[in-house]
Chains A and B, each alone.
Chain A
Amino acid sequence: MTGQEDTAASADSAASGDGAPVHDLAELLKQLGPQVLGILVRRGADFAAAEDAVQEALVEAFRRWPNDQPDEPKAWLVTVASRKYVDAVRSEVARRRREERFHEEPDQGATEQADDTLLLLFLSCHPALPPASAVALTLRAVGGLTTRQIAQAYLVPEATMAQRISRAKRTISGERLTQPGDLGVVLRVLYLVFNEGYTGEVDLAAEAIRLTRQLARTSDEPEVAGLLALMLLHHARRASRRNPDGQLVTLADQDRSLWDTATIADGVRILQTALAKDRLGEFQVQAAIAALHADARSTAETDWTQVLEWYDELARLTDSPVVALNRVVALGEVDGPLAGLKALASVDPGVPRHAAVAAYLHEKAGDLAQARDLYAVAARAATSTAERDHLTRQAARLHTDGT
């Protein structure tokens, strides 16, 4: 146990980035909920039942604390949640007419917040869960978000999200995690949360960074640091990704003065520490590429040779066609658009953004008519309205230029 200030600081948000005192009750409960759940689970409670118990304790706290806040909020929650847990398990046992009493009343052991985070992440990102369920459970059990907030973030009804979470808990009910969970699955789930972007009132990217930072405190696996660095380096560019009208701005056209240099420095520092461990993985490589972009004052000044080398490395680590496509873009910058187009011929044409890359390379090569047609094809294949509109404007631009 590292003390109350420390645990509060450890749950800081990536956006605020410091351990400022928590005034808001909802925010306090958001921070404490996962900590209390971690304590119960570490003491041997069943994850699914403990999650229910903690939710009930939080509801009670929300009702009672405005008039009567305990001196030790976390201890209060642990006590109340433990009682509710034991009651629930006992009534369940009674319901099943079992005679034995629940034997695992949580004992009072030393707490280690960091290990609890890892434990909860392993359970919430259990390999038996489909991605959407693991995401939802992670945001609630580890992130401390309410079901309503998660539902809003993913634009589904609250009842649907509640079902998704309770179904996920049923799936992993009884799992005691006798061996370490699958860190790879955890990282993919956190990546998914981050990459969803920001649609609702909850800042999913900031949540993903906060959770990955918490994980990085407990794990010296360089891929964890690699993922954190990757998130930070992309998050730093957030203000420049859309123009004031909400239109998508590509990397080449982003106003780099809007980039958050402190976050970039943070990401680069974390990445360097990870790379020094000499156990390379996909996220570290992706972060290295993002760092090279973050380091350049313009696309013209970008060290594309190094970017390409990292893509070669990434292609060795994964056979993803998306990587092959992105490598083509870098190759086009290093060896010219014709070399890029030649390499593009061996990339699966079904990969998203294939036509967009082809259009870009044709434009660079001076074949504007072909580029215009391909931008139109790419617009039809786009999976978001922002990309579709951007690509349509690209086609229109070449059309208007009189080609």
Chain B
Amino acid sequence: MAKYLLLKHYRGGPERSPQGCIPMDQWTPQEISDHIGFMHHVADTLRERGEFVEGEGLSPDGAFVRYDGEGKPPVTDGPFAETKDLIAGWMVIDVDSVDRAHEAAAFLSSAPGPGGVPLNEWIEVRAFMAEPPVITE
């Protein structure tokens, strides 16, 4: 019983498969629908298994923001189109083991891309910080 974050990146991470390098706007509309449909299917499957916590997509545009002192408006910077890493969305799951988390991530990664071939996208898996156990010694 542990929560994991499954991160889907637009960019960044290890080297992509050839299909993964083709921008989505160059796919056919049907391929895009199939890909998105598969994402829903993954979420539904996780829901049915009692493992789904939440999932969201993120707009690729964003800004970096920081505090700039008392009474001053926040400073913004960006967008940075060329930053190395960009997060497309996430899913949070609650599962029995890290192995199960990896299995779920691999399932997500098998989403079809151009030609219906699995994209084999890299999914970043991160464990949530838990509560400290009561019994330690």
Chain B residue nearest to A208 (CB atoms) is: B134
B84 close to A (CB within 8 Å): no
Q: Which of B3, B132, B135 has the most CB of A within 10 A?
A: B132
Interface residues of chain A: helix, strand, loop or mixed (majority): helix
* Contact present for B96 and A196 (CB under 8 Å): no
Choose the segment among B29-37, B42-50, B62-70, B111-119 that binds chain A (4+ C-beta atoms closer than 8 Å): B42-50
Interface string of B118-137 (1 = CB under 8 A from A): 00000000010111111111
Partner of A196, one of B1, B3, B48, B49: B1
Known contacts A196-B1, A329-B137; A165 and B129 CB within 8 A of each other: no
Contact indicator B50/A167 (Cβ below 8 Å): yes
Given contacts A154-B94, A167-B48, contact A192 B1 (CB under 8 A): yes
Residue B38 interfacial (CB < 8 Å): no
Q: Considering the chains assembled together, what is the distance between the CA atoms of A293 and B53 in angstroms?
A: 39
Measured between beta carbons, the chain B residues less than 8 angstroms from A194 are 134-135
Contacting residue for A197 out of B51, B53, B127, B134, CB 8 A: B134
- Judge if A135 is at the interface, Cβ distance under 8 Å: yes
A155 lies within 8 A of B50 (CB): no
Is B129 a contact partner of A234 (Cβ separation < 8 A)?
no
Stretch at the interface among A34-42, A100-108, A383-391: A383-391
Which residues, 19 to 64 on A, are CB-close (under 8 Å) to B?
A: none
**How many residues from B make CB contacts under 8 Å with A?**
23
Contact, CB under 8 Å: A167 / B94: no
For chain A residues 48-101, which have a beta carbon within 8 Å of chain B? none
The answer to whether A165 touches B50, judged by C-beta atoms less than 8 angstroms apart, is yes
Q: Verify B48–A163 contact, CB threshold 8 A.
A: yes
Q: Which of A125-133, A266-274, A342-350 is the contact stretch?
A: A125-133
Given contacts A196-B1, A293-B137, contact A160 B131 (CB under 8 A): no
Nearest Cβ in chain B — how far from A107, in angstroms?
35
Q: Which B52-103 residues sit within 8 Å CB-CB of chain A?
A: 52-54, 94-96
A286 within 8 A of B: yes
Query: Are B51 and A155 in contact, with the CB atoms below 8 A?
Result: no
A contact residues around B54 at 8 Å (CB): 157
Tell which of A161, A195, A235 touches B50, judged by Cβ atoms closer than 8 Å: A161
Give the size range of A's interface with the partner. 35 or more
Secondary structure dominating the interface of B: loop
Q: Are A195 and B1 in contact (CB under 8 A)?
A: no
Once the chains bind, are B135 and A286 in contact (CB under 8 Å)? yes
Contacts of B129 in A (CB 8 A): 382-385, 388
State whether A197 and B133 are in contact (beta carbons under 8 Å apart), knowing that A160-B50, A161-B50, A167-B49 are contacts in the complex: yes
Task: Tell me the total A-B contact number using a CB cutoff of 8 A.
Answer: 88
Please tell me if A13 contacts chain B, counting CB pairs below 8 Å. no
A331 CA to B96 CA, complexed, in Å? 33
Residue of chain B at shortest CB distance from A136 = B50
A251 contacts the other chain (CB 8 A):
yes
User: Is B48 touching A131 in the complex (CB atoms < 8 A)?
Assistant: no
Q: Is the CB of B134 within 8 A of A160?
A: no
Q: Which of A165, A192, A235, A385 counts the most B-chain CB atoms under 10 A from its CB?
A: A385
Interchain CA distance A168-B51 in the complex, whole Å:
12
Interface residue from A132, A154, A235, A386 paired with B132 (Cβ < 8 Å): A386
Nearest CB in chain A: distance from B46 CB, A: 8
What's the minimum C-beta distance from B113 to chain A, rounded to whole angstroms? 29
* Extra 20 A-B pairs, beta carbons < 8 Å, given A155-B3, A197-B132, A382-B129: A132-B1, A132-B94, A132-B95, A132-B96, A135-B1, A157-B52, A160-B50, A167-B50, A168-B50, A196-B134, A199-B131, A205-B134, A230-B135, A235-B134, A238-B134, A289-B137, A383-B129, A385-B129, A386-B131, A386-B132
Can you spell out 16 A-B residue pairs with CB atoms less than 8 angstroms apart?
A: A131-B96, A132-B94, A154-B94, A155-B94, A160-B47, A160-B51, A163-B48, A165-B50, A168-B50, A192-B1, A196-B134, A205-B134, A238-B134, A241-B134, A329-B137, A386-B131
